[in-house]
Structure 1
Amino acid sequence: IIGGGYIGLEAAAVARYRGLEVTVIEMADRILQRVAAKETADIIRAIHESHDVVIREKTGLKRLVGRDGHVCGAELSDGSVIEIDFAIVGIGVVPNDQLAKEAGLDVANGILVNEFARTSDTSIFAAGDCAVQPWQDGRIRLESVQNAVDQAEAAAAVIVGGDAPYDPKPWFWSDQYDVKLQIAGFNLGYDETLLRRGAREGAHSVWYFRNGQFIAVDAINDAKAYVTGKKLLETGINPDKAVLADAAADLKQLLA
């Protein structure tokens, strides 16, 4: 599997369930480098390695080797060659903005929209994974089912006469083996993390901060941490780090 992001790792879990031998290749220093903190990546890596997945970081794919019309090997950038029966490529997506370009709309790694999902042509709207929307002091393009649905609903409301801006509250999830990773918020630009052990065995959460402000949480088999983090983000409450650091503390204290 080429790519150690969520798609590649989810594919690895499915392949192992089917009894296949799996190697994940990630050219970055670690898996999930662009989307998660090291603490989250370390936990997810350990889970995959416990299922006998081989994870090779800091090396990329140089070329696929074929024989008789079928792939049979993968030559890596470190010079090694892996014998394979097939390859799955999960290295991210590129937004399809061709139609928007042809329509003369403003694009930049996606279709630029305002807080009402309007493009540079105010009679045209865009929503979902292809839309680059305002976010705090900049812009983001969110790739999630939740955002695609919520932003489309917000755009539809404006089309029929509404005037409420779309204020995204991102949340994501990833199922791998019997592990559920739930994410609330968006960790862009984080400069501090806090790892918390959950009440149940195998439950952990990683809390992200930027300039002292709570911005996101990764909850691994820890629904309570996810729900609490989501409510904190919705209400704008900044959690007490001392409570977060205390594994015995009840997270409900943070919402009081």
Structure 2
Amino acid sequence: MAANEALVIAGASLAGARAAETLRGEGFDGPVVLFGEENERPYERPPLSKDYLMGKAERDAIYVHPEDWYREHDVDLRLGAAVTGIDRERHEVTLADGSRVRYGKLLLATGSSPRRLQVPGAGLAGVHYLRTVGDSDQIRQAFQGAERVAVIGAGWIGLEAAAAARTAGAEVAIVEMAKLPLLRVLGPEVAEVFAELHRANGVDLRMGVGVDDITGTDDRATGVRLSDGSYVPADAVVVGVGITPNTQLAEAAGLDVGNGILTDASLRTSDPDIYAAGDVACAYHPLLKSSIRVEHWANARHQPVIAAKAMLGQQAVYDRLPYFYTDQYDLGMEYSGYVEPGGYDEVVFRGDKQRREFVAFWLSEGRVLAGMNVNVWDVNDAVQALIRRGGTVDTAKLANPDIPLEETGR
């Protein structure tokens, strides 16, 4: 790559901003161009379903950098400028307005999009999806005026939205096809904790049922008709049924794609001059020895650091354990590690599950794959060390809060 060739980033997200920050921090003084489809400068998404949604955080708190940072660091930030094509042979990206920009190395930080509900009435006013700050603004406004809110989907976004709606004083019903919230992610042993949390806070859980249609009058949603024949009236409907990685650019350019853009451990795609990071990247993880895609803040924050260093020719490998967190009502938790759905044979609890003050560990053949601390703090580093150490543990010691985690091995 010639010294004066631009390093181009497609996606002015947290991942894109962190990559630009790292490129400058590592001493690269050539052109850095950061393209964003939205008209907002890069911001963080967790507050959109947490403090910002509940009105506890001001808008300025969500941004990755102050407004002047990009100019001060000579980062060419172009908002409202979507990258629509990649010419790998010519090393060019095409923008929505037809213009072209040459790149030496390219990072795809295109993120993901909410899955759309495919039922009659899904397009009515008052049906909301949460992905952008504009979405969060609309939902917050809707919660302020709503007496009844229906949330379709009991994943992390759905549960956090439900907690925000209850905090705003609305009656809330959650509709979910699985038997428990977060069942696929956590398994029944821990998913039940979140079911009881929401029941205790007055949420009507409609589990094991699908959605037939969304009803409305005057083109505005008034409720949700369920597959068991029951009906949930609602002044606002929030849909959180998963996200899909935005791989269209990569697919059209002929890059290897499979549950995201496939990369090696340095976030390099099948084209040695193109990298991917964040929600869109399905990256090989050297510790887990498999390719995984993680839809959480920590990946969007840390993966681009490795990608940027690799773009500069450094030896850099992403081997952080997957990590995420949530805050709902009086429950706060951190989760580290990775477990395929159904990929464990035992869950060990350390602490008081009934009081929701515990650490849960997912094990396979005596080895800890993941751990989640709920309302128990300053243990996440020890949990991660236990996972990284490998080897089997003594489950009786693991369950005993009086025995340090470092002493639970066999």
TM over 0.5: yes
Equivalent residue, structure 2, for 1:211: 365
1:192 corresponds to which of 329, 346, 349: 346
From 356, 359, 363, the equivalent of 1:202 is 356
1:165-244 alignment runs, 5 A limit = 165-188=317-340, 189-198=343-352, 201-236=355-390, 238-244=392-398
User: Greater relative contact order (Cα 8 A, min sep 6): structure 1 or 2?
Assistant: 2
> Distance between the aligned counterparts of 2:384 and 2:158, measured in 1?
26
Question: For 1:163, which of 312, 315, 318 is the aligned residue?
Answer: 315
Q: Residues 199 and 187 from structure 1, CA distance in 2 versus in 1: closer, same or farther, beyond 3 angstroms?
A: closer
In 1: Cα distance, 2:373 partner to 2:393 partner: 15
Q: Specify the alignment match of 2:243 in structure 1.
A: 93
Question: What code does the residue aligned with 1:50 have?
Answer: A
Partner of 1:131: 281
Instruction: Count matched residues.
Output: 256
Ranges in structure 2 where 5+ consecutive residues have no aligned partner: 1-150
Contact 1:198–1:222 (CA<8 Å) still a contact in 2? no
CA distance in 1, matches of 2:353, 2:241: 35
Same amino acid, percent of matched pairs = 38
Matching of residues 11-160 of structure 1 within 5 Å: 11-135=161-285, 136-160=288-312
CA RMSD of aligned residues (A): 2.1
Secondary structure in structure 1 of the residue aligned to 2:152: coil
Deviation at 1:198, TM superposition (A): 4.7
SS at match of 1:223: coil
Is the partner of 1:22 in helix, strand or coil? Answer: strand
The amino acid that maps onto 1:106 is D
* 1:9 and 2:163 aligned: no
User: Which residues in structure 2 correspond to 1:237-252 (within 5 Å)?
Assistant: 238-251=392-405
Contact 2:365 2:392 in 1 (8 A): no
Q: Normalised by the size of structure 1, how large is the TM-score?
A: 0.93
Offset of residue 52 of structure 1 = 0.4
Q: Distance in 2 between matches of 1:65 and 1:95?
A: 29
Task: Verify the 8 A CA contact 1:12 1:22 in the aligned structure 2.
Answer: yes
Q: List 4+ stretches of structure 1 deviating above 6 A.
A: none
Relative distance call for 1:200 and 1:93 in structure 2 (3 A) is closer
* 1:37-57 alpha-carbon deviations (Å, 9 max, x no partner): 222211111111111001111
Deviation at residue 200 of structure 1 after TM alignment: 11
Classify 1:58/1:235 alpha carbon distance in 2 versus 1 (closer, same or farther; 3 Å).
same
Distance in 2, matches of 1:180 and 1:9, equals 13
- Structure 1 69/77 Cα, relative in aligned 2: closer, same or farther at 3 Å? same
State the shift of 1:118 in Å: 0.8
The verdict on how the C-alpha distance between 1:233 and 1:250 changes in structure 2, with shifts beyond 3 A counting, is: closer
Which segment is superposed worse, 36-45 or 224-233? 224-233
Structure 1 residue 240, shift from structure 2 partner: 2.6
Q: Which runs of 5+ in 1 are unaligned?
A: none
Call closer, same or farther: CA 1:47–1:33 in 2, change over 3 Å.
Answer: same
Distance apart, 1:206 and its partner CA: 1.4
Cα deviations by residue, 1:11-31 (Å, 9 ceiling, x for unpaired): 111111000000001101221
The secondary structure found in structure 2 opposite 1:35 is helix
Q: Deviations over 1:130-174 (max 9, x none)?
A: 011113343211111111222111111111121132213111101
For 1:138 and 1:244, locate their aligned partners in 2 and report how far apart those are by CA, in whole Å: 27
- On the 8 A contact 2:224/2:234 being kept in 1, the answer is yes
Task: Verify the 8 A CA contact 1:170 1:186 in the aligned structure 2.
Answer: yes
Which protein shows a greater Rg? 2
Q: 1:223 to 1:40 in 2, by over 3 A?
A: same
Deviation of 1:193 after TM superposition, in Å, equals 1.1
For residues 200 and 80 of structure 1, do their structure 2 counterparts lie closer, same or farther at Cα, with a shift above 3 Å needed? closer
Q: Distance between the aligned counterparts of 2:321 and 2:401, measured in 1? A: 27
Q: Distance in 2 between matches of 1:167 and 1:38?
A: 29
